Each structure stands twice: as C-alpha cells, then as structure tokens.
Structure 1
Amino acid sequence: MEIVRSGTDGIEWELAWQVPLYEQFHRHPELGLAEHQTSAAVAAQLAGWGFDVRQFGGTGVVGVLANGAGPGVLARADMDALPVTEATGANYASTTPGVMHACAHDMHVVALLGAAKYLSEHLHIWQGTYTVLFQPAEETAAGSQVMLDDGLAAGIPRPDVALAQHVMPTEAGTIGTTPGPVLSAGDSVRITVHGRGAHGSMPHKSVDPVVLAASIVLRLQTVVSRETTPGEFAVLTVGSVTAGATANIIPDRAELLLNLRTYSMEVRAAMMAAIERIVRGECIAAGCPQEPEFEYYDQYPLTSNDAQANARVTAAFTRTFGADAVYRTAPQTASEDFSRIPDAFGIPYVYWVVGSAPPETYRRAVANGTLDADIPANHSPSFLPAVDPTLGVATRAQAAAALAFLAGTV
C-alpha cells in the first residue's frame, strides 16, 4: 500500500483504494450531463461514509456531513470528460471511443472523495458542516447552472465558503494560489450579418457580406488595442468566418464566431458594447437590408478569489506542504463555471491549481525552453497527470483547505 504523509499535521493518506478508482474513472469517461456511472459510484462511496447524499441536475451529486455547530464548507469537483481520442498509451487509457478525461476531472473526483473519507473518519478534529459537490458538465459551462436550476441553493445547508481546485500541467508536488482573478471570464459570440446575394458577374446588385465581414474583422482588432485601458487584460479572437459556398455567387449572409476573455466584468461589458457598436456601424455603412444578429453562448463567469479566504487557504497549504511547494500563480486565461455556485449563495470562494507534470521532466523543459513541446496541456490527447504525487497532493489540499475553516471551531 502506498502512503503519502504530510510533514506537519500527521494526516496519512492511503492511496490503495484511490488509485484503482481513479483508473476506473479514467478508463470509463463520460461526457457532460451523461456522467451516470461516475455519479452512481460517487454517491455510493459517500453514502458508505455517512454523508447525506442528494442529487441535483440529473447527474450532479452532493454529500452533506453535519458535525455539530460551526461553519459550513462546500468543496467542489467536476466530473465530465471531453470528446477527445486518447493518445497517452496508459494501461488504464479510455475504453470509450472518442471520449477521454483530458482535463483531469477524474482526478478531481477521486481527490475530493479522499478528503471526504478522511473528514468522515476524523470527526474529532473538526466541527461544522462539510458539503462535497460533484458537478457535471463543466466543459460546456452548463453543469453548475443545471444544478442551481434544480434547486441546489435551497436544497443544501448554506455554506460560508466554497473551495475548488484544478490539476494543471505545472510541476507535480506544487500548488498555486492567488487572490483576485485566477481564471478569466469567457464568452463566445455568434454574429450573423445580412447582405444581398447576387451573381458574381453582377456585384453592383449585391450587398456583399464577405467584404462586410472582412471590414468587421479588421475593426474588431481595435477593441483591445484602442478601447481597452492599458494594463487591463482582454482577449478578442475571431475564430471563424463563414460565407458562401461557391466562387461565382455573392452570398446573402456571413457568420462570424468570436471568443472573449477578461478578468473584469466592467471590461467584459465594455467589450460587448464595442463589438455590437462596430458590427452595427459597419452594417449601416454597407447598406445591409437587415439588422445583424448576436448570440452569446458558452459563457463562463469570472473566477476571482476572495483575498481573505485565499490567504487562509494559502497558509494552510504552506503548513501542510512547506513554503517551497506553494507559490503565487498568475491568472489563467482558461475559464470555468465553478463560481456560479458560491455566487448563488453570496459567499467567498477559493480556487487553486495543483501541478501534475513529473518534476524532473518539468524542470528540464523549463531549462530548455520546451514546455509547450514536452509537457502536454489540458485538453491534449496526451495529457496524463503523474499519479504520484499529484493524487496525494490534490487529496491533502482539499482536506487542508476545508480544515482551515472547520478546525477553527474545535
């Protein structure tokens, strides 16, 4: 049996049951809102440890463990896989064609289960209510809202703080925390502009949406460079432009797909207003016969850590893992939907990152300037966390963060 020990608090983690469970989840990944086997396995484990198990949003699972008067802590893990064909070569690789745990959600699940088991077996060291939440469909930005729409906020004890973590392709054995923005807000926009179709031999009878789309793409480049305050973060990407089907026909419409990333709700709102203003202005200039259409989708909220709660969790990590293992991470341009849950309760939250790349490999890649080539990133068909020490660290991190709030009342 492999045992990972913390150096300061006497906690011992037995990974003998965790590793096979992690490999089971990795072999049998399930896409968002279809995590039926994963959900059932999670619920069974929690029930066996004395948690009051409840389900929201179909496959979402919540376990509540009440242990006297005290604060409430909610800890969350996401469960869904991605539509990716695995290329890791692992002996526990996905057996589901075209589906893979390419973002370590399987490890998130098992780490939170490990923390849940530990707290259920050590009731004498903490007091309060520990709620663990296993969320579906993070990858489509749907899962947290689906659970909320199914009555989550009214259906569980109100927590005082929420916790979440994500395994990343940084050095295994390290944990990154930061106050304030840690993940960007993300928004995708589908814009349809309407022209007037005509034969290529009679362009004077058209309102050409291809030329219009090209003008819009060029003008959109000024939203960040000329309308965003220097020092503020913003990304605007035009990822797709679609118009027409043949060379000698001017089409009657064009579609543009945009993606935005921001660390500020004010900047986000200003960017959306600028995009709509530019598109409408270009359509007027082109003489479009119809107003443009805007559809916002795949919208992820900003993830911004509460400074006081983050300081408390960071101090707990430093005590548990040592100062050398804990660093201040830079905000990531990735996005996710966790923050909708604490926002629905009006409570602070902390979100941190756990490294997963073998230390020697990671350090060598940093020294050689080959990180992108040598360390597969999340969502890559080759992304595979080093189970040792990542799973043990992620498990202990969830427990240490929860006890930073719950143990204060003992």
Structure 2
Amino acid sequence: MSRPAPSAQASADAARTALRGLGALRDDLAALYRDLHAHPELSFAEHRTAAEVARRAGEFGYEVTTGVGRTGVVAALRNGPGPTVLLRADFDALPVTERTGLDYASTTEGVMHACGHDMHVSCLLGALKLLADARETWHGTVLGVFQPAEELGQGAQAMIDDGLYERFGTPDVVLGQHVGPFPAGTVGAHAGPAFAASDSLKVVLHGKGAHGSRPETSVDPVVMAASTVLRLQTIVSREIPGGETAVVTVGALNAGTKDNIIPDEAELKLNIRTYSEDVRTRVLTAVERIVRGEAAVAGAGREPDITETGSFPVLVNDAGAVARTMAAVGEVLGADRVMDPGPVTGSEDVGLFGTHGEVPVCYWLFGGADPAVFGAALAAGTLDRDIPSNHSPFFAPLVEPTLTTGVTALTTAALAWLDLR
C-alpha cells in the first residue's frame, strides 16, 4: 500500500537532491539534443532515435523494451513497492524544410523537428538518469514512455493496442510536457480541457470538366470549392456560441492542371479544433451540410466525398493532478515561473494514456523562447511575427535554460507522485 502523498515541500526537497547531478549532465544532454535535431525522423520511422533512447536508458539501469507500438520504447525502473509513474515524451518529426540556419540544423531533406520533440526526448532522458541515480530516496516504479507518431495522432493508441499497461503495469499518473513559444525557464499547466480535440477531413467535390473557353458546358469544381471555403468560415462566426471555442481551417485546396481546362474535381483538406463534444458535433455537422449544400447549388451530378483522415481527442488535465504536480514544481523553479496558460488550440494524443486506464493526467507546457527576445516582441506587439511557433520552419528552442527547466520539471513531477523515503 502506498504511503500518503508527499507534501510539495517534501517533493521539492527530494527533487533538489536528485537535481544535484544535473550540472554534470548538461553538456551531454545539449549534445544529444543537437544530434537528435540534426537527425529527425518521421512518424513510425524513428528507428535511429529509438535506438539511441534504448541505449542510454539501458545504461542508466532501466529495463528497456523496444518496438512497442511499432517504434516506441519503454524504459522501466522498478524500485520496490509503491506508485507507478508514467513519464512520456514523443519523438517523431515533421515533413518541414528547416530554415533556422542553425549549425545543427536538420541533415534530412524536407524533415525537421519543428515541434520540439527532440527537446522532449532529451529532457526525459535527463530526468530518467537523475531518478535512477537518486533511487535511494524513493520507492515505486518509473516508466519512461517514448512514443512514436504523435504528429499523426496514432502513436499513443498504437502503444496501448500493443499492451502497454498489460505488459508494464497501469500507472497511477501520466505526466508529460511540451515545449512552446514562450519564455524559457517557465512552465504552465491548465486544469480541465487543456489541448483541443482535432479532426482532419478530406473533401472531394465532383464537377464536370470542360474546355476553359466553354464554361457553360461544365460544372466548375474550382468555383464550387471557392464558395465552399468561404461558407465554411461562417461556422465559427455564425453557428458557435460566443462563449465557446472552435477553429475551422482549410489547409489545402487542390484542383486542375492547366489554365484553359476546367477540371473534373477539387479537393479540400480541413482541420477542426474544439474542446467539447457538443461543439465538435455541431461543427462537423455544419461542415457536411455546407459541403453538400454547395455541391447541390452548383449542380454537381455526384455527391461530394467526405473522409476523416485523422483525429485527436481533447486532452483533459485532472485538476488534482495539476495542483499536486505544479505545487511541487513551483517550489523548485519558483512560483513566479509557474502559470496557467489557459486552454490551447493545439492537440495532443497523450490524453489517451489517461482515458485508457482511467488514470489522471498532468500535461504541461514549458517555454523555449529567448526571454529577452520574447519580452521585446511582447512590448512591441509583434509576438506572432518575431517568435516562431511550433511547426514553423524557424522553430528552434533555446537550448538553455530550456533543457534545465524541462529536466527539472519532469524530475520534480515524478517525485511528487513516488513514495519518498
């Protein structure tokens, strides 16, 4: 039976003891981060990254299992009876051409760690090392879960389907973090719906092709697509209550091959972000109504095809888990460095680890932007222009103090849930 939860102060004291070893790790972790950044790998192809994670975790004394959910890695350290704490980092990259100009920029053409997953891996490996070295101070089990394919929204489910909990044990809490474009050295967690649900759709509008000189013989899918895009923008402004949040984005519109040919079809790719099932249903219903309605008005002879291409559930942070975790983190980093960022419209599949086993989740953000540059941009009102966001070809977290903050937060969070000696 686990002991009562340690106080924030006790957790912070244990963390400070463990963190004494961080100074000796900083250079190695920074080198690891730069190496991972230079060698990004796409979803479910993270073979080099997985091998490096497995090698290091094994050297730290963890029992390492590879190939979980295809390319995932699980590192387990069982240190007597007590709670099981799952620490998660994702490690896939994006099909983005890097434009940072860094001397450790991606060496893989058209692929980049544009979302900071390389930073997540480096921080988790640092935390695993510190927790292993301080194992005399705590009881329980630490599960380091290195997850593939977060960018596809498929990696967490793949690991679950591969028997993650049946093979390694159901955790008492799921903890994790994501680097973001706000000042390095700070962290933020929001209780309740914290990251939006995401739905991706492909819409194919069917028209009737013709010569560009004789549009009267056609049903023009380009015009149909243009009308559809404009009408879709009214969903949020005219169908969603002012107190609710939704985002509808048409990320791609593809049609035609030549200026004097009216094509047979046009393709739209949509992304939808919501926080509640009611709003999600309302938006998806409106999308289908508008797409089919515009096709009918245009005189299309065939119904449009609407296909779901991806989905992330809303990530709900457990209020008690956030309070307990952030109280300890604030004791170590300083309360002025812990904030509530509110719900963000980005999406994350880490919540599946919580819903699968009805396990509380605490997932937080930590800053990666240069504080001086961020402060100047904030004062000038140019944050969107001067501070690259995740998925930008210019996104590049400041190595320090981002690494130190991430390692500190993960280590402290874990010790807030383990039994302390």
TM-score under structure 1 length normalisation:
0.91
Aligned residues: 404
What residue is the counterpart of 2:149 in the other structure? 137
Cα pair distance change 1:373/1:223, threshold 3 Å: closer
- 8 Å CA contact 1:74, 1:162 repeated in 2: yes
CA deviation string 1:165-193 (max 9, x = no partner):
01112111111111122222222211112
Q: How does 1:79-94 map to 2 (within 5 A)?
A: 79-94=91-106
> Is 1:46–2:57 an aligned residue pair?
yes
Structure 1, residues 122-144: CA drift from partner, whole Å, max 9, x if none?
22322222111011122232322
Cα distance in 2, alignment partners of residues 213 and 94 from structure 1: 36
Q: CA deviation at 1:195?
A: 2.7
State the Cα deviation string for residues 17-57 of structure 1 (Å, max 9, x = none).
Answer: 32222222222222222211211111112122222211212
The correspondence of residues 230-269 of structure 1 with structure 2, limited to 5 A, is 230-269=242-281
Given that residues 153 and 344 in structure 1 are in contact (C-alpha distance below 8 angstroms), is that contact kept between their aligned partners in structure 2? no
| Structure 1 position 9 matched with structure 2 position 16 | yes
**The residue matched to 2:65 in structure 1 has which SS?**
strand
**Closer, same or farther: CA 386–238 of 1 in aligned 2, 3 Å:** closer
Cα deviation, 1:239-266, whole Å, max 9, x if unaligned, reads: 3333333444443322222111112222
The separation in 2 between residues aligned to 1:89 and 1:244, in whole angstroms, is: 36
- Partner of 1:78 in structure 2? 90
Displacement of 1:200 in angstroms is 4.8
* Change over 3 Å in CA distance of 1:117–1:364 after alignment to 2: same
CA distance in 2, matches of 1:243, 1:79: 34
- Matched with 2:207 is 195
Question: Which residue of 1 is the match for residue 9 of structure 2?
Answer: none
Q: Is the 1:233–1:263 contact (alpha carbons within 8 Å) kept by the matching residues of 2?
A: yes
Output aligned runs, 1:317-332, within 5 Å.
317-332=329-344
- Mapped to 2, the partners of 1:216 and 1:302 lie a distance apart of 27
Aligned 1:331-370 pairs, distance under 5 A: 331-370=343-382
Task: Establish whether residue 220 from structure 1 lines up as the match of residue 232 from structure 2.
Answer: yes
Q: Which amino acid aligns with 2:177?
A: Q
173, 177, 187: which one aligns with 1:161: 173
> What is the deviation of 1:333?
1.8
Query: Is the contact made by 2:353 and 2:359 (CA closer than 8 Å) also made in structure 1?
Result: no
Looking at structure 2, the residues matched to 202 and 358 of structure 1 have their Cα atoms a distance apart, in angstroms, of 57
The verdict on how the C-alpha distance between 1:202 and 1:371 changes in structure 2, with shifts beyond 3 A counting, is: closer
Unmatched segments (≥5 aa) in structure 1 = 1-5
- Please name the residue that 1:127 is paired with: 139
- State the SS of the aligned residue for 2:54: helix
Deviation per CA, 1:80-99, whole angstroms, max 9, x where unpaired? 22233333333333333333
Superposition pairs of residues 110-125 of structure 1, within 5 angstroms: 110-125=122-137
Q: Which AA in structure 1 matches 2:146?
A: F
Which of 393, 400, 410 is 1:388 aligned to?
400
- Amino acid across the alignment from 2:156: S
Distance 1:250 1:142, change over 3 A: same
Q: Deviations over 1:96-155 (max 9, x none)?
A: 333332222111111111111111122232222211101112223232233233332422
Instruction: In structure 1, give the amino acid aligned to 2:374.
Output: Y
- SS of the residue corresponding to residue 89 of structure 2 reads strand
**Secondary structure at the counterpart of residue 17 of structure 1:** helix
Are residues 1:29 and 2:36 paired?
no
2:318 aligns with 306
* Root-mean-square deviation over aligned CA pairs: 2.2
Residues 87, 176 of structure 2: 8 Å contact kept: yes
Q: State the SS of the aligned residue for 1:9.
A: helix
SS of the aligned residue for 1:140 comes to coil
SS at match of 1:266: helix
| Paired AA for residue 43 in structure 2 | G
Of 397, 404, 408, the match for 2:416: 404
1:232 deviation in Å?
0.4
Return the alpha-carbon distance in structure 1 between the equivalents of residues 315 and 188 of structure 2. Answer: 15
Residues 356-385 of structure 1: CA distance to partner in whole angstroms, max 9, x if unpaired? 122222212212223233322223333222
| Partners of 1:127 and 1:23 in 2: CA distance | 33
Deviation sequence 1:314-361 (CA, Å, 0-9, x none): 111111111111111122222222222222222121111111122222
Which amino acid is 2:293 matched to? Answer: G
**1:47-76 deviation per Cα after TM superposition (whole angstroms, max 9, x unaligned):** 222222112123210011112222211110
Amino acid at match of 1:343: T
Q: Return closer, same or farther for 1:217/1:377 CA change in 2, 3 Å cut-off.
A: closer
Question: Which residue identity does 1:63 align to in structure 2?
Answer: A
Retained in 2: the 8 A contact 1:196–1:288?
yes
What amino acid is the match of 1:341?
Answer: F
Distance 1:94 1:278, change over 3 A: closer
1 CA distance for matches of 2:416 and 2:407? 14
Residue 8 of structure 2 is matched in structure 1 by none
Range with greater deviation from structure 2 (137-146 or 247-256): 247-256
Once the two structures are TM-superposed, the CA of residue 203 in structure 1 deviates from its matched residue by 4.5
What is the percent sequence identity of the aligned residues? 51
User: How far apart in 2 are the matches of 1:25 and 1:389?
Assistant: 18
Q: State the distance in 2 between where 1:157 and 1:40 align.
A: 23
Paired residue type of 1:76: R
CA gap of 1:355–1:252, structure 2 versus 1, over 3 A, is same
Q: Given the alignment, which residue of 372, 380, 384 partners 1:372?
A: 384
